[in-house]
Chains A and B, each alone.
Chain A
Amino acid sequence: EVQLLESGGGLVQPGGSLRLSCAASGFRFSSYAMRWVRQAPEKGLEWVSGISSRGDFTDYADSVKGRFTIARDNSKNTLYLHMNSLRLDDTAIYFCANGPNWVDYWGQGTLVTVSS
Protein backbone atom coordinates (compact mmCIF):
# COMPACT_ATOMS: atom_id res chain seq x y z
CA GLU A 1 0.00 0.00 0.00
CA VAL A 2 1.31 3.42 -0.98
CA GLN A 3 1.72 5.81 1.93
CA LEU A 4 2.90 9.41 2.01
CA LEU A 5 3.23 10.83 5.51
CA GLU A 6 3.92 14.53 5.88
CA SER A 7 5.30 16.15 9.03
CA GLY A 8 6.90 19.38 10.14
CA GLY A 9 3.98 21.77 9.92
CA GLY A 10 3.07 24.17 12.68
CA LEU A 11 2.67 27.79 13.71
CA VAL A 12 5.41 30.18 12.62
CA GLN A 13 5.75 33.97 12.61
CA PRO A 14 6.02 35.95 9.38
CA GLY A 15 9.59 35.84 8.14
CA GLY A 16 10.23 32.53 9.87
CA SER A 17 11.29 29.15 8.51
CA LEU A 18 10.03 25.57 8.53
CA ARG A 19 11.12 22.28 7.03
CA LEU A 20 8.45 19.86 5.88
CA SER A 21 9.17 16.16 5.41
CA CYS A 22 7.29 13.45 3.55
CA ALA A 23 8.07 9.81 4.32
CA ALA A 24 7.14 7.55 1.42
CA SER A 25 6.50 3.82 1.44
CA GLY A 26 4.82 1.15 -0.66
CA PHE A 27 6.38 2.12 -3.97
CA ARG A 28 9.82 2.57 -5.55
CA PHE A 29 10.35 6.16 -4.35
CA SER A 30 13.57 6.68 -6.32
CA SER A 31 11.73 6.07 -9.61
CA TYR A 32 9.09 8.76 -9.19
CA ALA A 33 9.02 12.51 -9.63
CA MET A 34 7.47 14.12 -6.58
CA ARG A 35 5.79 17.42 -5.84
CA TRP A 36 4.30 19.60 -3.14
CA VAL A 37 0.80 21.00 -3.54
CA ARG A 38 -0.85 23.33 -1.03
CA GLN A 39 -4.37 24.33 -0.17
CA ALA A 40 -5.14 27.52 1.71
CA PRO A 41 -8.12 27.39 4.12
CA GLU A 42 -11.37 27.00 2.17
CA LYS A 43 -9.48 27.52 -1.10
CA GLY A 44 -8.41 25.45 -4.09
CA LEU A 45 -5.25 23.53 -4.90
CA GLU A 46 -1.98 25.24 -5.82
CA TRP A 47 1.13 23.49 -7.12
CA VAL A 48 4.15 24.64 -5.11
CA SER A 49 7.19 22.72 -6.32
CA GLY A 50 8.34 19.59 -8.13
CA ILE A 51 11.49 17.48 -8.24
CA SER A 52 12.65 14.80 -10.65
CA SER A 53 13.19 11.21 -9.57
CA ARG A 54 16.95 11.67 -9.15
CA GLY A 55 16.66 15.16 -7.72
CA ASP A 56 18.59 16.77 -10.56
CA PHE A 57 15.71 18.94 -11.74
CA THR A 58 13.53 21.19 -9.60
CA ASP A 59 10.89 23.79 -10.33
CA TYR A 60 8.87 26.24 -8.29
CA ALA A 61 5.72 28.28 -8.49
CA ASP A 62 6.46 31.97 -8.92
CA SER A 63 4.82 32.64 -5.53
CA VAL A 64 7.52 30.67 -3.67
CA LYS A 65 10.56 30.92 -5.94
CA GLY A 66 13.63 32.11 -4.04
CA ARG A 67 12.04 31.31 -0.67
CA PHE A 68 11.30 27.57 -0.81
CA THR A 69 13.67 24.70 -1.68
CA ILE A 70 12.56 21.18 -2.56
CA ALA A 71 14.89 18.25 -1.98
CA ARG A 72 14.81 14.48 -1.66
CA ASP A 73 16.85 11.72 -0.09
CA ASN A 74 16.24 8.55 -2.06
CA SER A 75 18.22 6.50 0.47
CA LYS A 76 15.65 7.50 3.10
CA ASN A 77 12.58 7.53 0.83
CA THR A 78 11.92 11.08 2.01
CA LEU A 79 10.89 14.31 0.31
CA TYR A 80 11.55 17.71 1.86
CA LEU A 81 10.38 21.29 1.50
CA HIS A 82 12.54 23.96 3.11
CA MET A 83 10.48 27.12 3.56
CA ASN A 84 12.10 30.48 4.38
CA SER A 85 10.79 34.05 4.62
CA LEU A 86 7.31 32.74 5.28
CA ARG A 87 4.41 35.09 4.62
CA LEU A 88 0.83 35.20 5.83
CA ASP A 89 -0.39 33.93 2.46
CA ASP A 90 1.74 30.77 2.80
CA THR A 91 -0.78 29.54 5.38
CA ALA A 92 -2.12 26.27 3.98
CA ILE A 93 -2.23 22.52 4.19
CA TYR A 94 0.82 21.21 2.34
CA PHE A 95 0.36 17.91 0.54
CA CYS A 96 3.11 15.61 -0.63
CA ALA A 97 2.12 14.05 -3.96
CA ASN A 98 3.65 11.66 -6.46
CA GLY A 99 3.48 11.31 -10.21
CA PRO A 100 5.15 13.20 -13.04
CA ASN A 101 1.86 14.14 -14.70
CA TRP A 102 -1.38 13.52 -12.76
CA VAL A 103 -1.11 12.80 -9.07
CA ASP A 104 -1.62 9.14 -8.29
CA TYR A 105 -1.27 9.45 -4.54
CA TRP A 106 -1.59 12.23 -2.00
CA GLY A 107 -0.54 12.39 1.64
CA GLN A 108 -2.97 13.57 4.30
CA GLY A 109 -1.18 16.91 4.45
CA THR A 110 0.49 19.00 7.14
CA LEU A 111 -0.86 22.39 8.22
CA VAL A 112 1.41 25.42 8.11
CA THR A 113 0.06 28.51 9.84
CA VAL A 114 1.92 31.80 9.43
CA SER A 115 0.72 34.28 12.00
CA SER A 116 2.05 36.86 14.41
Chain B
Amino acid sequence: DIVMTQSPDSLAMSLGERATMKCKASQSVLHSSNNKNALAWYQQRPGQPPKLLIYWASTRDSGVPDRFSGSGSGTDFTLTISSLQAEDVAVYYCQQYYTTPRITFGPGTKVEI
Protein backbone atom coordinates (compact mmCIF):
# COMPACT_ATOMS: atom_id res chain seq x y z
CA ASP B 1 0.00 0.00 0.00
CA ILE B 2 1.08 3.57 -0.63
CA VAL B 3 1.70 5.36 2.65
CA MET B 4 0.86 9.06 2.81
CA THR B 5 2.51 11.44 5.25
CA GLN B 6 1.67 15.10 5.92
CA SER B 7 3.50 17.97 7.53
CA PRO B 8 3.23 19.83 9.74
CA ASP B 9 0.77 18.19 12.12
CA SER B 10 -0.73 21.59 12.85
CA LEU B 11 -0.46 25.20 11.73
CA ALA B 12 -1.27 28.22 13.88
CA MET B 13 -1.93 31.15 11.56
CA SER B 14 -3.37 34.65 11.53
CA LEU B 15 -6.24 35.81 9.35
CA GLY B 16 -5.02 36.85 5.91
CA GLU B 17 -1.78 34.88 6.15
CA ARG B 18 -0.61 32.34 3.61
CA ALA B 19 -0.83 28.73 4.83
CA THR B 20 1.25 25.98 3.23
CA MET B 21 1.09 22.28 4.02
CA LYS B 22 2.88 19.27 2.55
CA CYS B 23 1.90 15.76 1.56
CA LYS B 24 4.33 13.01 0.64
CA ALA B 25 3.60 9.62 -0.93
CA SER B 26 5.80 6.58 -0.33
CA GLN B 27 5.90 6.00 -4.09
CA SER B 28 5.04 8.02 -7.16
CA VAL B 29 1.33 8.58 -7.89
CA LEU B 30 1.96 9.92 -11.38
CA HIS B 31 -0.09 8.05 -13.99
CA SER B 32 2.01 7.46 -17.09
CA SER B 33 -1.20 6.97 -19.11
CA ASN B 34 -2.39 10.57 -18.72
CA ASN B 35 0.60 12.26 -17.06
CA LYS B 36 -1.59 13.26 -14.13
CA ASN B 37 -0.97 12.81 -10.43
CA ALA B 38 -3.62 10.75 -8.62
CA LEU B 39 -3.77 13.01 -5.57
CA ALA B 40 -6.74 14.75 -3.94
CA TRP B 41 -7.11 17.19 -1.03
CA TYR B 42 -10.03 17.44 1.39
CA GLN B 43 -11.13 19.88 4.07
CA GLN B 44 -12.86 18.58 7.19
CA ARG B 45 -14.43 21.10 9.52
CA PRO B 46 -15.30 20.00 13.07
CA GLY B 47 -18.34 17.73 13.18
CA GLN B 48 -18.60 17.56 9.39
CA PRO B 49 -17.69 14.98 6.74
CA PRO B 50 -14.72 15.79 4.53
CA LYS B 51 -15.24 18.06 1.54
CA LEU B 52 -13.37 17.66 -1.73
CA LEU B 53 -11.15 20.63 -2.55
CA ILE B 54 -8.73 19.47 -5.25
CA TYR B 55 -8.20 16.44 -7.48
CA TRP B 56 -5.50 15.51 -9.99
CA ALA B 57 -3.20 17.37 -7.58
CA SER B 58 -4.12 20.83 -8.85
CA THR B 59 -7.71 20.92 -10.21
CA ARG B 60 -10.08 22.78 -7.90
CA ASP B 61 -13.50 21.22 -7.44
CA SER B 62 -16.52 23.25 -8.49
CA GLY B 63 -17.28 26.06 -6.04
CA VAL B 64 -13.95 25.88 -4.19
CA PRO B 65 -12.55 29.40 -3.65
CA ASP B 66 -9.48 30.24 -5.70
CA ARG B 67 -7.46 30.97 -2.55
CA PHE B 68 -6.99 27.18 -2.40
CA SER B 69 -4.36 25.80 -4.75
CA GLY B 70 -2.57 22.49 -5.14
CA SER B 71 0.79 21.73 -6.67
CA GLY B 72 3.45 19.06 -6.89
CA SER B 73 4.21 15.88 -8.80
CA GLY B 74 5.40 12.34 -8.27
CA THR B 75 5.68 11.94 -4.50
CA ASP B 76 5.66 15.50 -3.15
CA PHE B 77 2.62 17.76 -3.04
CA THR B 78 1.57 21.07 -1.49
CA LEU B 79 -1.76 22.65 -0.58
CA THR B 80 -1.68 26.42 -0.23
CA ILE B 81 -4.31 28.74 1.18
CA SER B 82 -3.28 32.15 -0.11
CA SER B 83 -5.13 34.30 2.43
CA LEU B 84 -6.52 32.46 5.43
CA GLN B 85 -10.15 33.08 6.32
CA ALA B 86 -11.93 32.19 9.56
CA GLU B 87 -13.96 29.49 7.80
CA ASP B 88 -10.74 27.73 6.74
CA VAL B 89 -10.18 26.40 10.27
CA ALA B 90 -10.25 22.66 9.63
CA VAL B 91 -8.18 19.55 9.18
CA TYR B 92 -6.82 19.05 5.68
CA TYR B 93 -6.22 15.54 4.31
CA CYS B 94 -4.45 14.40 1.18
CA GLN B 95 -5.48 11.15 -0.49
CA GLN B 96 -3.90 9.05 -3.23
CA TYR B 97 -6.05 7.15 -5.71
CA TYR B 98 -3.23 5.72 -7.79
CA THR B 99 -4.10 2.29 -6.36
CA THR B 100 -7.87 2.75 -6.50
CA PRO B 101 -10.08 1.19 -5.23
CA ARG B 102 -7.48 0.89 -2.46
CA ILE B 103 -7.14 4.55 -1.59
CA THR B 104 -5.08 5.87 1.30
CA PHE B 105 -5.21 9.13 3.23
CA GLY B 106 -2.58 11.15 4.98
CA PRO B 107 -2.90 11.75 8.74
CA GLY B 108 -4.03 15.35 8.25
CA THR B 109 -2.82 18.88 8.99
CA LYS B 110 -4.86 20.91 11.45
CA VAL B 111 -5.15 24.62 10.64
CA GLU B 112 -5.94 26.91 13.56
CA ILE B 113 -6.22 30.67 13.96
Contacts and interface: CB of A to CB of B under 8 A. Distances in A.
Contact of A47 (B42, B50, B55, B102): B102
Contacts, number: 55
B101 A33 contact: yes
Given A101-B55, A101-B97, A45 B102 contact: no
Contact of B108 (A44, A47, A106, A108): A44
Tell which of B50, B51, B93, B106 has the most Cβ of chain A within 10 Å.
B50
A102 B52 contact: yes
B49 interface: yes
Contacts of A107: 49
A100 B93 contact: no
B50 A106 contact: yes
Interface string B80-107: 0000000000000101010011111111
Interface string B13-50: 00000000000000000000000001010100000011
Interface residues of A, number: 20
Contact of A44 (B61, B97, B105): B105
Interface of A: 33, 35, 44-47, 50, 57, 59, 61, 95, 100-104, 106-109
Interface of B: 38, 40, 42, 49-52, 55, 61, 93, 95, 97, 100-108
Given A45-B93, A95-B49, 8 more contacts: A33-B101, A44-B93, A44-B105, A45-B95, A100-B101, A101-B100, A103-B40, A103-B95
